[in-house]
Amino acid sequence: VRKMAERPEDLNLPNAVITRIIKEALPDGVNVSKEARSAISRAASVFVLYATSCANNFAMKSKRKTLSASDVLAAMEEMEFDRFITPLKDALEAYKREQKGKKEASEQKKKDKKPESEEHDKSKEDENEEDPEGVKMVEDDQKEIENEEEDVDN
């Protein structure tokens, strides 16, 4: 279990990534000063905090302790970033497909190792679906957050 990082730079987003996103949004030949890039990066961190807080309000309203993707979508509407909703939904669909593919690949590996079949009866999971996007495997997702950290931490 990773401890919560306390270094100030961990509340910032990686400069190289922010710079790349900015550059790809702009025409070729446009430059961004270091101060401007730093301000945009800070704005992005503030956006994460604000969006998280807003999404969390929706989760709490529904008496859920786990923030879901649909809470985030609701937050975008609340924050008047309606233009983000469609691209976000598209990205979520692609992400879910990708995660499903990874999961099936690793389950296949397990099956190959173990002859006896394990019952993963996900369809009988709790149907208290506050999340209309169909995120059923909340607990697996939470475990996966821990696993994912090794993969995605640059």
Partner 1 sequence: MEELESGVAVAEPGQSLQLEAEAEAERPGSAPLPGLHHKLLRLPLSRIKGLMKADPDVSLASQEAVFAIGKATELFVEVIAKDAYTFALQGKRKTIQRKDVDNAVDATDEFAFLEGTLD
CB 122, min distance to partner 1, A: 15
Q: In the set 117, 123, 128, 154, which binds partner 1 (CB under 8 A)?
A: 154
CB 120 within 8 A of CB 139: no
Between 119 and 153, CB nearer to partner 1: 153
Distances, alpha carbon 87 to alpha carbons 82, 83, 93, 111, in Å = 10, 8, 10, 36
Give the integer Cα–Cα distance in Å for 34 and 26. 16
Non-local CB neighbours of 64 within 8 Å, separated by 6+ positions:
130
Q: Which of 37, 43, 73 is nearest to 58 (CA)?
A: 73
Give the integer Cα–Cα distance in Å for 65 and 142. 12
Q: What are phi and psi of 14, to 5 degrees?
A: -60, 130
Between 24 and 112, CB nearer to partner 1: 24
Q: By CB under 8 A, what part of segment 42-101 binds partner 1?
A: 42-53, 55-56, 60, 65-69, 71-73, 76, 79-81, 83-84, 86-88, 90-101
Q: By CB under 8 A, what part of segment 13-32 binds partner 1?
A: 13-14, 17-18, 20-22, 24-32
Q: Which of 30, 32, 74 is nearest to 54 (CA)?
A: 74
Between 79 and 116, CB nearer to partner 1: 79
Q: Does 115 bind partner 1 (CB under 8 A)?
A: no
Q: By CB under 8 A, what part of segment 130-149 binds partner 1?
A: 131, 133, 135, 138, 141-142, 144-145, 148-149
Between 56 and 120, CB nearer to partner 1: 56
Between 18 and 119, CB nearer to partner 1: 18
